[in-house]
A and B are shown apart, each in its own frame.
Chain A
Amino acid sequence: MSETTTQIPEEKARIGAPSIPGFTEEGENLSPLNDSASSPLAGASSKSHSHGGGEGVADSSRAGRLTSYNVEDFPKLTGREEDWRFTPLKRIGSLHTAELTGKAPKVELTGSENVTLRTVAADDAIRGNAFTPDDRVSANGWKYADGAQVLTIPANAENTKSVLRITGESLEPAAQHLVIVAEENSEAMVVIDHVGSAVLAQNIEFDVRQGARLRVVSLQAWESDAIHASSQQAVVAKDATFKHIVVTFGGDLVRVNPSARFAGEHAEIELYGLYFADAGQHLEHRLFVDHAVPNCKSNVLYKGALQGKGAHTVWVGDVLIQKAAVGTDSYEANRNLVLTDGTRADSVPNLEIETGLIDGAGHASTTGRFDDEHLFYLMARGIDEKTARRLVVRGFLNEIVQQIGDEQLEERLTETIEEELAATHL
């Protein structure tokens, strides 16, 4: 595939590179702003105040980003902020300014019987254990969420599978808060299936406790008028694994911000994503992996296809390896396949390394066009143009679909991809 916009070759961080200004053997000397040993912690103790750079302070490090439970702590958005510069604020349904009092999407649970769903009040102590709003929209969602729905996977549960069907029934701006707790040594798959129409500021927290293995699929299969901003935060305890797969097809503007923070050693985080943007759609994914403790492993791979005039995708991948996180192994990549003219794919991998004592760290980003030489090669083997194009796109996206590990869902996604391809003469 030709790589037309960005290409950063795969690389491993060099350990102990000498005599580069601003660097020591331990890594980069960071600005005083980021010097603080404390990371932006969540939990009851921090709910009363804010962390981070605050107003007027330019910060280059992800660690310095403002987090707060109080929406007023976040300045009004102008669209020039680093984390909003790609998002068309006009199309975000006033989620950053409005009172989010519309009817929140309906939540229905199906699946394993030992997994339970309950509703708690907004001030319940469980809310915010693994979550701190990190932008104005998520803080606004925090403010207006009418309680929270709590899904609990009991300790030592084996191989559970649950589907949370989130059905949007109103275009009034609304807020929603979900808490998913994977108790100690549980093993679970949770599908969060977004359908219908909504204008929604959604916050989801994943409390992945010691030794738990949680696999989450967040599927955005909205109707075409939906507006969805979703902050999905995970805290991953010792020996736990967290696998998070975002699949975004539907909606007018969808902005999903998954973030995952290691809270104990020998844990593993995998963040995958698959998006398919059609004409006029804005699909944005901003993720953050916070290596705050030693000896953890993370892997990120997002793949997207774009077709049709005005299809816009944004991928920003922040990986932070903190000074304490020695023995980290991390990799992140984003791959985009541009199928037609008139689309735009923004792809920004950010890798911050504060210690040189790591096993590996790398990033890659490619955005490629559907290549006439591919087409010629396949057609010269008797394959007609339509089949050839589908073969390439399907193959490209399949790598993520295969991560889901659920036959029924994989089939549904394969069908959706086929429908997307059928929609624009491919």
Chain B
Amino acid sequence: MSTLEIKDLHVSIDTEQGEKEILKGVSLVINTNETHAIMGPNGSGKSTLASTIAGHPRYKVTSGSITLDGADVLEMSVDERAKAGLFLAMQYPVEVPGVTMTNFLRTAKTAIDGEAPKLRTWTKDVKEAMAKLKIDADFAGRNVNEGFSGGEKKRVEILQMELFKPKFSILDETDSGLDVDALKTVSEGVNRAQEENQMGTLLITHYTRILRYIKPDFVHVFVDGRIAEQGGAELADRLEEEGYDRFLNVQA
């Protein structure tokens, strides 16, 4: 079993008005094989947490720690974090012109595993994973995310997650912009990865609808850079009925 532990994390970004604190002391413990949903209103710091774990240079950790089985994640470069077993499915995957999916997937897989995948099984693995996620076979020859629709981009994120087999995945609003069919396909991918690799999942979402397909063990409600409430799957049901007003009113 592996553990990703976030302790009293404070994170700031530089804005035109100076430094602004986004996360104001977040603590979380995620074990492999667990699914944690992070919910909350817009601007509460959910995506900041995701990007900070992955090491995006825009976010500055002012105090606190992130460790993976005791190893200091904050000391690691972005690629080292990926090699250590962390995966971020991005909210807005970027297009990389001139780099084909095939080339990209193989290069990344080689980097993460430290050795090149065996060509024959790899090609087969990629094909099968694409088929399960209902991604057209001709995407392999296209440039990374170039000209993909929003839904296609999200499916390709999940494809990478299934192929790279991380210990922990952070899904940053993967559900946004997906229609019901795509949402189901993507959710099945996440559930498969969990089952096959005992992956731990941090599911960041604004809406509860993805939780119909991916059952969370824990739900954390983010408000203004802090965890305002924690509970089990039933907390999500309550949020579905009541929305976030309860938390925002308290604040006001």
Interface residues of A (CB under 8 A from B): 1, 371-374, 376-385, 387-388, 391-392, 394-399
A382 lies within 8 A of B82 (CB):
yes
Residues of A within 8 A of B168 (CB): none
Flag B21-34 by CB within 8 Å of A: 1 or 0 each. 00000000000000
A374 lies within 8 A of B164 (CB):
no
User: Which 7 A-B residue pairs are closest in the complex by CB-CB distance?
Assistant: A395-B98, A382-B82, A382-B111, A379-B78, A381-B108, A382-B112, A395-B99
Flag B109-132 by CB within 8 Å of A: 1 or 0 each. 001100000000000000000000
Known: A387-B107, A391-B107. A379 touches B77 (CB 8 A): yes
Beta-carbon nearest neighbor of A391 in chain B: B99
Question: Is B171 interfacial (CB-CB < 8 Å)?
Answer: no
Most buried by B among A380, A388, A399: A380
Q: How far is the CA of A395 from the CA of B54 in the complex (A)?
A: 25
Most buried by B among A379, A384, A397: A379
Question: Is B57 interfacial (CB-CB < 8 Å)?
Answer: yes
B108 lies within 8 A of A374 (CB):
no
Binds A, one of B60-68, B88-96, B202-210, B213-221: B88-96
Question: Is B56 interfacial (CB-CB < 8 Å)?
Answer: yes
Q: How far is the CA of A367 from the CA of B135 in the complex (A)?
A: 32
Question: Is B160 interfacial (CB-CB < 8 Å)?
Answer: yes
A381 lies within 8 A of B82 (CB):
yes
Flag B50-62 by CB within 8 Å of A: 1 or 0 each. 0000111100000
Residues of A within 8 A of B94 (CB): 371, 373-374, 377
A395 lies within 8 A of B55 (CB):
no
Residues of B within 8 A of A394 (CB): 98
A399 lies within 8 A of B78 (CB):
no
Q: Can you list 9 A-B pairs with a CB-CB distance of less than 8 A?
A: A379-B78, A380-B54, A380-B78, A380-B87, A383-B111, A385-B77, A395-B96, A395-B99, A396-B98
How far does the Cβ of A16 sit from chain B's closest Cβ, in whole Å?
31
Known: A377-B90, A377-B93. A382 touches B98 (CB 8 A): no
Residues of B within 8 A of A371 (CB): 94
A384 lies within 8 A of B96 (CB):
no
Residues of B within 8 A of A380 (CB): 54-55, 78-79, 81-82, 87-88, 90
Residues of B within 8 A of A398 (CB): 98
Residues of A within 8 A of B98 (CB): 392, 394-399
Question: Is B184 interfacial (CB-CB < 8 Å)?
Answer: no
Q: Which of these, B87, B97, B108, B111, contacts A395 with CB under 8 Å?
A: B97
Residues of A within 8 A of B87 (CB): 380
Known: A372-B57, A395-B143. A383 touches B107 (CB 8 A): yes
B83 lies within 8 A of A382 (CB):
yes
B96 lies within 8 A of A392 (CB):
yes
B79 lies within 8 A of A376 (CB):
no
